[in-house]
Amino acid sequence: MNKMKLKKTLKVLMIIYTIAPFVVWGGVNIDLKVLFDHSPNMFWIHLPSTAQIDEINEMVIEVWDEFERISTSYKGQINFNLISYNLTDYQTISASSVVSNIPTSYTFAKVNFGVERLSFSISTQGIHYILATNTLTGKTFWSNPILVDYNPIKLIWGDVHSHSIFCDGGGLPRELYNYARYIALLDFCSVTSHGEFLHLNGGFNALEQATNRANDPGKFITSQGVEWTSGTAPHVPLIGWGHFTSIFSGTKLAHLSSSIQKNPSELWSELDRFTSEFGCRAIALPHHTVSEKYIQDWPVCFDYSQYVRLGEVFSVHGSSLVNPYSEWNVTGEIDQPSYQIQGSSINEALMMGLRLGLVANGDSHDGFPGHSLSHTRAFIGHQYPPTYILSRVSHLYPSGLTGAFVSDITRDNIFDALYDRRVLANSDFGRPYVTFKINDVEVGEDDSTVFVANSTSLRELKLFIAQDGTPPAAYLQAAQPWNGNPNWNAKVQIFKNGYLWKEELINAPVTQLFFYDNETIVGASYNNCIEKEGEFYINEKSHTPVNPSSLNTNGVDYYFIRILCSRGRVTAIGPLWVESLT
């Protein structure tokens, strides 16, 4: 009898042990609304950011459900309208004065699969928005702005930091590139799997081949890229110097891994060797620099400005632009330290003397570069493509995008724009049009440096902003339709030498602002070093001794812009450095 009871007990335990993992998995990953409700919620109207007068372009209309996924069930008519602003005083242009060829309406059928591409052209100079009205609900959706002018420099959009199933992400590289091109509608992209995983089954070669196959000059550019991950990847030294995503200008992919290059010195040496052997260039991009597990050890970058040209200020991790404990922190960061760690943010690195342009990317692990879903309820595990770790659950911010100003859509031009810092950063899938100049020198021009006659010479700061009309996404917040017209209320902030200098409220889609500064140019410095065992470090997490007196901008002022839009969208551009000739 006891044996029979024991057998029954063992059977019950076996059933429990068999079912329990599925129950636990299902509790986290099964969301019936996400599984079965793909009802249309909003339209995403995508236009190129720039166009020549009379140029024929493509407008893309995507129907999204409430989790920002394509909804294929919409069947109805869309009516189109055009709102335009002139390039002199940025006031609206009367409809009768605008010459354009846009469709008046379009009817969706199921064969459209939730996406439609329509041709259009505009013959009138200005900033334009196309509006699409859903005749079933009466809701109207605005596009991103398009600048129509004579031979404008192209503003294109991309994401050069994403992860596939070759490491801890989801989806094969070719699937990620297809999504980036045809769904996220990017102009350029890089799948940058962690090199520490790519030793298996020829991962480096497979990623290199997939990237080259997806490249389509003039239409969609893919760049070779890989992430070097210290401190947190498998089989690597526990010392953390930070993570660097390396992007290359050519067709070859360097085999970078912290299990091969054990420290940053070996990483820089390998970049030297690789770029010399293959005649290409490289950028090493620090990111999520304020996250406690990945605190960036900035001094390892000090002598390598040929590689460390940019800082990733927005991603699915949040924002590293300012310190999480700064009074100016508005975005936050996942894995935020429980106490303030000085010297971790990109703003503080600028104060130390590094020259970093501001970019945004995805760092997405859900297989959706350019438009991640991990900030919505659709982060769950039954979403395709599959991932094998909790990489979706922990990424609670939308992926960001980098805007690049280029003459043409080629690998060389895009790499040049990144290298020269002719870029801007946006915290979600939005595509605003923003430029920033000081004394008519634009970001990315002349090494982003403005020379003035003396230390009190007048500096004119000129900022042009055309906001994106699409509803924003933010921390744990999927995009939702506006209640009427877009909310154009935004706060424009100018940071100077590491501190908030000026701010101004705006409430129009298109705005031009001027600010003037003739305060003495004094530069910035970082003054929060700590002493350990007789040597100085930028913070308690750093492994690299420094000379505190060297942590400054050498008397050069710097300015960057941050624009806080409604519902959590944030745009950043800069910096520009101002140097006195006497």
User: How confident is the model over 177-217, as pLDDT tens digits?
Assistant: 999 999 999 999 999 999 999 976 689 999 999 999 999 99
pTM > 0.85: yes or no: yes
Q: Please, are residues 402 and 425 in contact by the beta-carbon 8 Å criterion?
A: yes
Nearest Cα to Cα of residue 569 among 479, 443, 507:
479
Confidence band for 34, pLDDT divided at 50, 70 and 90? confident
Nearest Cα to Cα of residue 74 among 36, 122, 115:
115
pLDDT at 55: 97
Number of other CB atoms surrounding residue 479 within 10 Å = 25
Residue 233 pLDDT > 60: no
Residue 28 pLDDT > 80: no
User: How confident is the model over 106-129, as pLDDT tens digits?
Assistant: 998 866 789 999 999 999 999 999
User: How confident is the model over 518-532, as pLDDT tens digits?
Assistant: 999 999 999 999 999
pLDDT at 30: 77
Residue 236 pLDDT > 70: no
pLDDT at 14: 76
C-alpha distances out from residue 403 to 188, 313, 426, Å = 10, 13, 8
C-alpha distances out from residue 470 to 73, 121, 194, 545, Å = 21, 21, 33, 47
Name the packing angle between helices 173-182 and 203-214 (round to 10°).
30
Q: From the centroid of its chain, how far is CA 155?
A: 15
Nearest Cα to Cα of residue 406 among 187, 94, 577:
187
Q: What is the C-alpha separation between 560 and 516, in angstroms, rounded? A: 14
**% pLDDT > 90, the chain:** 84
